Structure 1
Amino acid sequence: MPQVDHQTRPRRQYRKWRKVGRRRARRQQAAIARQAIPLVTTTEKPENAEHAKQRKIWEAKERAYDQIVKHKKALEAAKMAAIAKEPSAETFGQAQAALDGQKRTDEKASGEMCPLYASTGACRYGAVCPRVHAIPTSPTRTLMLPNMYSGLPYKFSDEDLEDTLERDEQDIAEHLATWTRTLLDKLRQYGDVERFIVCKNRAPHLQGSVYVQYRNTPESVNARDAMHGIWYDHKTTLCEFIPDLDWSKAICEDKRAALGESGAMAVLVGFLKSVCDQFKDQNASPAMQTLDDVEQTLRAIGNLCFDHDDNRRRLLDADGVRPIVDVARNRESRIARAACGSLLNASMSCDEAQNSLVECDGIKVLLEVEQPEIQHIVVNCLSNVMDTESGSQNVASNELYRPMWRKFLAYGEADSEDLVDEAQELSALMVLLVQECGAKLEIRNQILTGTLLNEIMQTAEENPWRRLIDVEGGESAKDIAQNIIKIIGCVLEDQDIEDLQRERSYLVETIFRWLQDESFAGRTDLPICAAVTLGNISRNDRASSRLVYEHEIHRLAINKLEGTEDIGLQHALLGLLRNLSLAESNKPLLAQEHAVKVAIPYLQSRKDMLQPIQASAIGLIKNCCRRNIISARDFLTADDDGMDGLTLLIELANRTEEKALKVEGYRTVSIVIKTVWENDPVETLPLRQRLMEERVVRAMMQLVIVMDHPLPQNEGILALSLLLVENDREGAFSPNEIREWLRVNAQLTEKLEATVKDDKSPKEVRSNARQLLQLYT
């Protein structure tokens, strides 16, 4: 609040004295006019010397001020008279167009964007601006009410005083605060206001303009429809959509920097520290004036810290994060909103502020904030700190994953659909904690040792967000279901199925029930969750073997893969089969079920838009064909439609631009070559004939040339060597022909010679490269 100079006090007393005297005189004159009472001369207290002195001084100042105003009015009148003699606006516009019209036309045609409009949503040149204004063609979240606030005039007419008096800065600030609070309350009727700004820029196109940004577009549309064209504050309002602005560029930077340098941050933090004891108790009820002061203080801190690293540093130097966290405990919605907003702005892209927030138990406090209307701020603030190592360690050490899950469930239990986006963001944070962070193993153990995993699986089965999947904006609901699947899969990753059956038989039974999908017809999220979870468990060879030999999970997965059209379920089932095929003991049973034949159709060109699925299919074929001639035969033998895996895989590897997919395709062919050559030459003669073709040889040459990693490069070298040492057989290409293809490829020779000379390459790879050179040169 601005301080009042002590010199203004006598002036106010003088005004009060004049006001009392005029009112008394008016009453007496009115009585005389009505002849109701005679004129009575009242006996007044004698004016003391100090008052008389001040009265004379201020009477002199009032006369001087009146002379200044009179002089200003004369200057304005002279200026208006001069303007009246100038050419009209139309004439002036025509003259200017004649001078630079061609230039404006060329600039307009060039499509140069107007930087003024791009940064503030308004331009001082208006419609005649030579640059392009990117006016939104559809509703946005941000509205602008041009020149909405007229301000309180420096001089005003008071009906009681019937005189013209000055208003000081305190009166103007109080008027602005009242006007702002009234308009903001009205705008909040139409939605959740994320940002509200009254522009103090004195430029005519910006002065008094109001910017308001809602949380989503439907809310801004409702506000625009309600506010546009109404009579408000003695004027007709205009309300228009503008592009969603970069507020860091729109808000003037110099004033915030100056405020920070002036020591304002330390003063604000000092005030918070003086009152924060009243807010540590959630049920505390501080005085209304204290609440107002705290709210404005928090807003000031948030504005100073927004995209301003220096002011964030000043906040940290003043130890200002802790009192903000203490204040955020209060159940008063506006206080919690202002506190969370300050923490959000302070911790945005600032590691020190994020660590300070964690040290002050900020994560726990944020999880305790219950007001629905500020949950989006809470989740964004949590997102800032969860990316740090200290944030994940804090969740693990304080066992905060369960409170986080409770908060997530509260979003689903709410009747309002507005919290679905917050639920999606919070579920993504929980996935991050169990999937990537440094404390993921500790958090997983906490989930496993208690009852939380049962609650998570029960939530996956009930899924309170399913009702929103088929409505507009249902993508967030779909993401929530996928995130729950990821959480369960990560927690059970590398777990032994035997231990789970012994200690948590309910979990295993539930997973198998989901995959069989007997009780949940029409739902794919539960089978996907079961497939992903079993796929993670099967990374352990022992658990993988038990799943195949005891539960025959491979047969169930193959049957379900052949009968589903759901892309997500296809991806999950192929991933499960690929992990099952990693264990050497599982390959005979997978070969008996012809798992390779199930994967081959996903190599067709019509599946190219599903590269993750194609990658899983290639991985399954590669694992199954390694040292298993039955699967290799399935891969090389054409089906009834004339489609064989070799042709489809080489075509896929040749046409794809994804290097990883290309290399894995070529590696799979090299593994098939090695598997065929390890078996009896007579029995595998038809398979060898299929592999001794030019397209296969060129694929192996590409594997050697493209790859820098020694393992796949060595696989290509070995495959070419095996093709070269094959004896001449009827119907097959001659090794001499293959030798000629290799000899004319200069890139292959150059790469092999470089490998032989490279001391960093493994000794085995250099030896194999030298031997291949000797075979064809």
Structure 2
Amino acid sequence: MDVPSDKDCLPQLMEGLAIAVEKKSEDVSSLLDSIVLQVQDSNNACVDYSSFVDHLQALLCWESKTIISKSAKVISELAKADAGREKCATSSLLKLLVKFMKDEEQDIQVLIQVCRALGNICYENDKGRLLILDADCLPILLQVLKRSLSETGESGRSLRNVAAGFLLNLLIGHEDIQQKAVELGVVDILCRVLELDGIDAAGEESCTHALVILELITDSAVNGNESLLDEQMCKVAVQVLGASSSPEVSEMCLELLHGQAENEQVKIHLARAGLCELLIQLLEKHKPLVEDDEARNLMKMACDLIVLVLTGDDSMNILYSEGQGQVFHSMVSWLSSDDEDLQITGVLAMGNFARTDKHCIQMVEAGVSKKLLTLVERNNTPDGDIRLQHALLSALRNLVIPSQNKATVLNDGLMNAVAPMLAIPTFPVVFKLLGTLRMVVDGQEEAARELGQQHELVQRLVQWCGTEDHPGVQGEANRLLAWLIKNSHDQGVLNVMLETGAVPCLVTMVTAEHAVMQNEALMALALIAAMRLNDASESLVAAKIGSSITKLLTDFGPSLSQEVVQNALTLLEQLCTSDIVKSHLIESHITSALKPISSQKNNSDMSDQINRLVSMLDSG
């Protein structure tokens, strides 16, 4: 019989195929080729495929591998359209297609076309997907994908591509199936797919499928604190990122790694795999080409990933490498970058490297603090970049924690550099500023005296002590007041504290939730009482110092440390030297709170002191 040309309409070709099938004609093969071309024409969307699919199913039972392969190819083309996909979603057809995949010696072209057909049928088609899963296809598909790893050349790559695409369509939207795939070892298989195809442009499609699947299953994985990305997978993902010239593949690699880099073990794997070094190289290479928002967002993600890896203690130490690490030196150089994202990344990196005293000392000796202060001087006003200001203060705060760094950084001009930042209204920046100042005055009498005598600063601190908008700022403001008093031991500082109304803030701080703040408040008040009780007595009484100490002893009594109790007793003894304050303490029923304290086992060595204090107060 005459074979219809490619220009003939699909119904004629389908009719011709039905006749050829019935006669078992040799024309079947060429008819299938023509049908593939015609099905690819979108003008055939309204054709009824019902009986045609039955003929194709019959052809799948022929012995010829070529006919089976071509029939499956036609099915895969039909299933690209919603109508065809629906007609192909029958239990008998799908079971037959899955059966071909079970044969470990199956012809590779048959496997390629069967995987394409099944993958297209279950695309956005829950009915087809469930029928395929009912045929226990998932483990069979993973075996096919595993076989594809040992197949070489174009056919092996094609099989990996269609099998991975089929797997992706099967897993989308079904977390239970994704979990089962994980249990069946899909991650190791995908890792091998990336090893084979991720570094070759010809394998981009299968690489893309693998990355999307990995992102799916890692997002939905229920593994507690564990990640599905082991050391080898992290290493391979970094290799793919370095080798790919595709922006899409690069973005998917970054998203996958970024999504998993919260895990501490993954951070270590990525640090050892050279991710940060690679990202630095890519960022510096492509920075001049970043001209649109999409490219800029990709650049930001890469910067974020570097910082995220550095937040891990072990990964940070690997990259610091005793101050000799390439990443550390690159981040120092980025402090001088003209690109704000790179510069902020450099500053954030400094804050993360400065997490041990040893690192902080080495970094200050290397001049890192001077570079940071230079940036502060350029960005210390309300119109400065908030992200940069926050990052700079965080890094400086860490650097001044070691006692030997404080004087150095102060001499480098810290106070003058940060002073204008008091005018910044943004609470997160204020929080970091107060923390930095508190750290740097610890043990630095001159600096504490200089700051504590600044009337405007202390007045601002008193205002922040009352803010309800940011508990962190409120806490840091209170603590800085206490630290200025404790570290300065200066009459001039106390003058300013009394003039600005700082005493009520410290009295309120006595009953703070945190023991460290309670203790700091007690010590600061004890210094005020020892040095300026006559001047402070009215403020202390007005602030109800007696009620605060009573509440402290009553509400926190059993949990109070010996140090806190001892400091409370010392303060009370000093307060009792003022008749006005002593009367106030008696009215506050302080003795009722003291008596139970003396009977507590951990306070037994203070019982005599407590009893004397109680007797003195009871006697009036």
Q: TM-score, normalising length from structure 2?
A: 0.69
Which residue in 1 is equivalent to 2:523?
A: 671
Give the alignment of 1:417-432 within 5 angstroms: 417-432=293-308
Alpha-carbon shift at residue 758 of structure 1 (Å):
5.5
Give the deviation of 1:539 after TM superposition: 0.5
Matches within 5 A, 1:19-34: none
How far is the alpha carbon of 1:199 from its aligned partner?
Answer: 8.0
Q: What is the identity, as a one-letter code, of the residue corresponding to 2:553?
A: V
Aligned equivalent of 1:560: 420
How far the C-alpha of 1:626 sits from its partner, in A, is 1.7
Q: Is the 8 A contact 1:155 1:166 kept in 2?
A: yes
CA deviation after TM superposition for structure 1 residue 386, in Å: 2.7
Contact kept in structure 1, 2:458 and 2:496, CA below 8 Å? no
Query: Are 2:187 and 2:214, in contact at CA under 8 Å, matched by a contact in 1?
Result: no
Match of 1:738 among 578, 585, 591: 585
Query: How do 1:154-169 residues align onto structure 2 when only pairs under 5 Å count?
Result: 154-155=50-51, 166-168=55-57
Structure 2 partner of 1:41:
none
RMSD over aligned CA atoms reads: 4.7
Contact 1:547–1:553 (CA under 8 A) maintained in structure 2: yes
Q: Please tell me the residue identity of whatever aligns with 2:478.
A: I
Distance 1:362 1:409 in 2: 22
For the 8 Å contact 2:449–2:484, the answer to whether it is kept is yes
For 1:141-290, list aligned pairs within 5 A.
Answer: 153-155=49-51, 166-168=55-57, 174=73, 177-178=76-77, 258=134, 263-275=139-151, 286-287=153-154, 290=156
- In structure 1, stretches of 5+ residues that fail to align are 1-7, 21-147, 157-163, 184-197, 204-246, 279-285, 467-476
Q: How does 1:698-717 map to 2 (within 5 A)?
A: 698-707=547-556, 710=559, 714-715=563-564
- In structure 2, relative to structure 1, the CA distance for the partners of 1:270 and 1:454 (3 Å cut) is closer
CA contact (8 A) 1:379 1:426 kept: yes
Q: Per-residue displacement from partner, 1:652-671 (whole Å, max 9, x unpaired)?
A: 898xxx945xx666544322
Q: How do 1:46-125 and structure 2 match up within 5 A?
A: none
Partner of 1:490: 352
Aligned to 2:395: 533
Q: Deviations over 1:36-59 (max 9, x none)?
A: xxxxxxxxxxxxxxxxxxxxxxxx
What is the CA distance between 1:675 and its match in structure 2? 1.5
The answer on whether the counterparts of 2:320 and 2:353 sit within 8 Å (CA) in structure 1 is: yes
Q: Within 2, Cα distance between the matches of 1:357 and 1:499?
A: 31
- Give 3-state SS (helix, strand or coil) of 2:184's partner: helix
Q: Aligned pairs, how many?
A: 529
Q: How does 1:273-422 map to 2 (within 5 A)?
A: 273-275=149-151, 286-287=153-154, 290-303=156-169, 307=175, 308-315=178-185, 321-332=191-202, 333-348=204-219, 349=221, 354-356=228-230, 358=232, 361-368=235-242, 369-409=244-284, 412=287, 413-422=289-298
How many Å apart are 1:722 and its aligned residue?
A: 2.9
Is the partner of 2:291 in helix, strand or coil? coil
Change (3 A) 1:758 1:372: farther
Counterparts of 1:711 and 1:540, CA distance in 2: 28
2:545 partner letter: V
Cα offset, 1:290, TM superposition: 4.6
Give the corresponding residue for 2:37: none
Amino acid at match of 1:433: V
- The answer for the alignment partner of 2:450 in structure 1 is 592
Deviations 1:665-711 (Å, cap 9, x if unpaired)?
Answer: 654432222212444xxx54212443244622222333334447856
Q: Which has the higher helix share?
A: 2
Residue 646 (1) aligns with residue 503 (2): yes
Pick aligned residue for 1:601 from 428, 449, 460: 460
8 Å CA contact retained: 2:238, 2:275: yes
CA distance in 1, matches of 2:23, 2:484: 100
Q: Give the distance between the partners of 1:251 and 1:609, measured in 2 at CA.
A: 53
Residue in structure 2 matched with residue 612 of structure 1 by the alignment: 472
Alpha-carbon distance between aligned partners in 2 of 1:419 and 1:384, rounded to the nearest angstrom: 19
Q: Distance in 2 between matches of 1:17 and 1:717?
A: 103
1:541, CA displacement in angstroms?
0.2
- Asked if 1:436 is matched to 2:309, the reply is no
Distance 1:407 1:362, change over 3 A: same
The CA distance in 2 between the partners of 1:253 and 1:515, in whole Å, is 58
Gaps of 5+ in 2: 1-16, 30-43, 61-69, 91-122
Q: 2:412, 2:448 → 1: CA distance?
A: 14
One-letter code aligned to 2:452 = H
Give the greater-gyration-radius structure (CA).
1
Give, in angstroms, the shift of residue 153 of structure 1.
1.7
The separation in 1 between residues aligned to 2:129 and 2:454, in whole angstroms, is 63
C-alpha distance in structure 2 between counterparts of 1:554 and 1:249, whole Å: 66
Alignment partners' CA distance in 2, 1:762 and 1:316: 61
1:114 — aligned with what?
A: none
| Paired residues of 1:260 and 1:314 also in contact (CA < 8 A) | no
> Structure 2 CA distance, aligned partners of 1:435 and 1:762?
41
Which AA in structure 2 matches 1:490? N
Aligned CA distance change for structure 1 residues 252 and 362 (closer, same or farther; 3 Å)? farther
Bigger shift: residues 693-702 or 705-714: 705-714
**2:474 alignment partner, SS class:** helix
Q: 1:176 to 1:11 in 2, by over 3 A?
A: closer
Q: 1:373 to 1:518 in 2, by over 3 A?
A: closer
Supply the AA of the counterpart residue of 2:21: R
Give the deviation of 1:449 after TM superposition.
Answer: 0.9
Shift of 1:621: 1.9
Q: Which residue of 1 aligns with 2:8?
A: none
Counterpart code for 1:312: V
Contact 2:254 2:302 in 1 (8 A): yes
Contact kept, 8 Å, 1:312 with 1:346, in 2: the verdict is yes
Q: Residues 355 and 379 of structure 1: is their aligned pair in 2 closer, same or farther, counting only changes over 3 Å?
A: closer
1:49 aligned partner:
none
Deviations 1:583-632 (A, max 9, x none): x1x13332133367415424437843233333332232222222533376
With over 3 angstroms needed to count, the CA separation of the structure-2 counterparts of 1:296 and 1:713, relative to structure 1, is farther
CA contact (8 A) 1:357 1:363 kept: no
Q: Check whether the contact 1:697–1:720 (CA below 8 A) recurs between aligned residues.
A: no
Whether the aligned pair in 1 keeps the contact of 2:79 and 2:88 (CA below 8 Å) is: no
TM-score, normalization by structure 1:
0.57
CA gap of 1:728–1:488, structure 2 versus 1, over 3 A, is: closer
- Residues 317-366 of structure 1: CA deviation (Å, up to 9, x unaligned): 97553344433223243232112123323444365772546367234224
- 1:470-485 map, 5 Å: 484-485=346-347
Letter paired with 2:480: L
**For 1:383 and 1:671, how far apart are their aligned partners in 2?**
46
Query: Would you say 1:546 and 2:408 are equivalent positions?
Result: yes
Shift of 1:433: 2.4
How far, CA to CA, are the matches of 2:88 and 2:570 in structure 1?
78
Identity %: 9
Which amino acid letter does the alignment assign opposite residue 615 of structure 1? G
* Matched AA of 1:533: A
What code does the residue aligned with 1:338 have?
Answer: H
The counterpart of 1:510, out of the listed 367, 371, 384, is 371
TM-superposed deviation, 1:517: 1.7
CA distance in 2, matches of 1:449, 1:460: 17
Partners in 2 of 1:544 and 1:511 — Cα distance? 15
The alignment partner of 1:354 has SS state of: coil
Q: Distance in 2 between matches of 1:775 and 1:268?
A: 89
One-letter identity of the residue aligned with 2:378: D
Give the SS at the match of 1:415: coil
Q: Displacement of 1:393 after TM fit? A: 2.7
